[in-house]
Amino acid sequence: MLKAVEEISGTLETLGSPLPEAELWQLFPTPLLKHLWSDSDDLNRELRGVVLAKMKTDRGKSVWHGSNIGGWHSPKTLGTWPHACVEQLKGRIRALVCEMVSRVVPNPQPEHLEGWSLQAWANVSRHGAKNASHVHSHEKSAVWSGIYYVDTGEGHASGSYSSSSISSGLTKFEDRSGVPKEILRNRDPFEREVTVMPQPGLMVLFSSMLWHRVEPFLGDSSRITIAFNLSHEGFLIPRYPQSQSSENAGFRGWMWRNFRGLILPASYLKSRLKRTFRPVIAR
């Protein structure tokens, strides 16, 4: 029986390598911008109070869970909350998106830096809560997304934070580029994931199409973050027709494409039931 696949054998010399005239193109880089505001103690203290008060008012019930599993997700109206600390946070968001645009857009015009629309919400995680892998592409106008870390919940004292003290609730950005990774020397296929260590005052800005997740939080306090989306009429994310992948093919994909209005409530109810009857996580 003939082999369908033949092994290529030989040394680099016999195979004609190296090939110095070959061009290597590094296509479509994915920018991620981080900035740590060191003078954040007062702001974070105020934000923490505002967020926890809102959660208490809502009795800890999330109107929309999204990727949040076991935690509290505020309404996506945080940008309109009438608090000075929210306005200060919005100023930081504007500063970071302007910095991002200045770095990724050749010769940006004033119109690129102004006119950004904000959608923001708070996440509060208690012991065992996490965020499943997700992107923010469901918000069709979102261009950039971000995270601001208010409180890591790891019990650090003010002014004595150390990134080495963070052992849970890590933010993981996932490599879904499909580029092969060698596993002869490193068997870990997920080695190219990028980990961001939560730190009070840290803000991260990235493409709304970049997959990310939050690992289970194992602290005894509350991990508090503010997530946000930014949109602008002068920017557009190219969207191509969906291929018939495993996610879009078959009966399930057909139902989602043609009866999304019926599937969404059923999916939401299933998610709520899972959260209601999930087993208690041992501390």
More confident residue, 258 or 60: 60
Nearest residue to 130 (alpha-carbon basis) of 51, 196, 194, 72:
72
What domains are defined for the chain? 32-179+186-233 (2.60.120.620)
What pLDDT is attached to residue 264? 65
Is the pLDDT at 252 greater than 50? The verdict is yes
Is the pLDDT at 109 greater than 90? The verdict is yes
What pLDDT is attached to residue 279? 47
Is the pLDDT at 2 greater than 60? The verdict is no
Instruction: Write the CB contacts of 219 (distance below 8 Å, at least 6 apart in sequence).
Output: 127, 152, 153, 154, 155, 168, 169
Query: Is residue 132 within 8 Å of residue 67, measured between CB atoms?
Result: yes
| pLDDT tens-digit map of 38-75 | 999 999 999 999 999 999 998 878 777 778 899 999 99
Is the pLDDT at 282 greater than 60? The verdict is no
Mean pLDDT, the chain, whole residue set: 85
What pLDDT is attached to residue 139? 76
Is the pLDDT at 219 greater than 60? The verdict is yes
The rounded percent of the chain whose pLDDT value lies above 70 is: 76
Query: Is residue 230 within 8 Å of residue 146, measured between CB atoms?
Result: yes
158: confidence class by pLDDT, cuts 50, 70, 90: very low
Is the pLDDT at 262 greater than 80? The verdict is no
What pLDDT is attached to residue 65? 72
| pLDDT tens-digit map of 127-157 | 999 999 999 977 778 999 999 999 999 865 4
**Exposed, middle or buried by CB within 10 Å (0-12, 13-18, 19+), for 32?**
middle
Secondary structure (3-state) at 13: coil
What pLDDT is attached to residue 201? 98
Is the pLDDT at 211 greater than 70? The verdict is yes
Is the pLDDT at 283 greater than 70? The verdict is no
Query: Is residue 47 within 8 Å of residue 85, measured between CB atoms?
Result: yes
What pLDDT is attached to residue 216? 95
Nearest residue to 51 (alpha-carbon basis) of 87, 82, 78:
78
Q: CA-based angle 265:267:270, to the nearest 5?
A: 110
The rounded percent of the chain whose pLDDT value lies above 90 is: 62
What pLDDT is attached to residue 20? 85
Query: Is residue 203 within 8 Å of residue 92, measured between CB atoms?
Result: yes
What pLDDT is attached to residue 233? 94
What pLDDT is attached to residue 157? 44
